Amino acid sequence: MAGTLYVVATPLGNLGDLSPRAAETLKRVAAVAAEDTRHSKPLLVHVGSTADLVSFHAHSDEHDLHRLLHLLGTGKDVALITDAGTPTVSDPGARLVAAARERDYPVVTIPGPTAVAAALAVSGLPADRYAFFGFLPRKGGERRRLLELIAHSEWTVVVFEAPNRAAELLVDLAAACGGERRAVVARELTKVFEESRGGTLAELAGYYADAPVRGEVTIVVAGGGKQPPPAPPVDLEERARTLLAEGLSRKDVVQRLADETGIARNTAYRLVNEL
């Protein structure tokens, strides 16, 4: 029989948040796959685990993956953990879970802390529906696209960010969403210097410009409210006939169609000339 892959949530910072079931699992498995073995070693010592600690992170190669799959394939149980919180959430562990599932190896969750739920819980913002964006790209078109999606989201949005880039992200969020959009910055959750500061995006951007962020950061942004339904598609040919019947020149009809519908001028020109 194949071994079981246990996906084990670990504390965000406070060791008291480790569940008894998680501690028992870490003690019982043959190996623990960890994002940063140096970071995770004290946790294994804390629970008295003698499991082999195996490095598995975003840059792990196929050899590292197959080493863990070999353990599972030979009947050894393996625990997957991340540096803090729930594995596979903005975490490379999803690759191991997917590979185990492809081979029909049992995969079992040992639930527990997650920064997403923890930040939502203290934000005071609606959490019945929300969108999670993880870490945004540092720059470029994909970053701008995701900022636009956040700005137009009907629901609360949660993002992660590195402390040295949090102030810049707040500025960009304020520009995309409007400075009056409500948000909460949660940092160092469950740790000694835990803080959750709320306000408008403009207020938070101003505050953290003068007070550099320290520690792990989760930003929760209020949704923009229900979006209006999309306008029904325009019958371009019918609209062009109507405008011509009103006495507009073909040149003016082309311009009106382009302005009203966003179609390219050359497309509008062909359509009008074919009538």
In this structure, is residue 227 part of a structural domain? Answer: no
Note the pLDDT of residue 236.
Answer: 87
**Domain boundary, last residue among 66, 93, 113:** 113
Please tell me the number of Cα atoms within 13 Å of 132 on its side-chain side: 13
pLDDT of residue 50: 96
**Is 182 a domain residue?**
yes
Of 78, 113, 148, which marks where a domain is finished? 113
**How far is the C-alpha of 7 from the C-alpha of 32, rounded, in Å?**
10
Report the C-alpha gap between 27 and 21 in whole angstroms. Answer: 10
For 112, the enclosing helix (H) or strand (E) is none
On whether both 82 and 144 belong to a single domain, the answer is no
Residues 51 and 128 in one domain: no
- Pick the closest to residue 87 from 121, 145, 36, 127 (CA basis): 36
Give helix then strand counts, H and E, for the chain: 11, 10
CATH of the domain at 205: 3.30.950.10
Chain Cα centroid distance, residue 148 = 15
C-alpha 45/C-alpha 49 separation (Å) is 6
Letter for the amino acid at 184?
A: V
DSSP state of 158: E
| 102 and 122, same domain (yes or no) | no
Q: How many domains does the chain divide into?
A: 3
pTM greater than the 0.85 cutoff? no
DSSP state of 247: T
Please list the pLDDT of the chain residue by residue as tens digits (275 residues): 899 999 999 999 999 999 999 999 999 999 999 999 999 999 999 999 999 999 999 999 999 999 999 999 999 999 999 999 999 999 999 999 999 999 999 999 999 999 999 999 999 999 999 999 999 999 999 999 999 999 999 999 999 999 999 999 999 999 999 999 999 999 999 999 999 999 999 999 999 999 989 899 999 999 997 666 666 667 888 999 999 889 889 999 999 988 888 788 898 889 898 88
Range of the domain at 246: 236-273
Whether 102 and 140 share a structural domain? no
HEC-encoded secondary structure of 70-97: HHHHCCCCEEECCCCECCCCCCCCHHHH
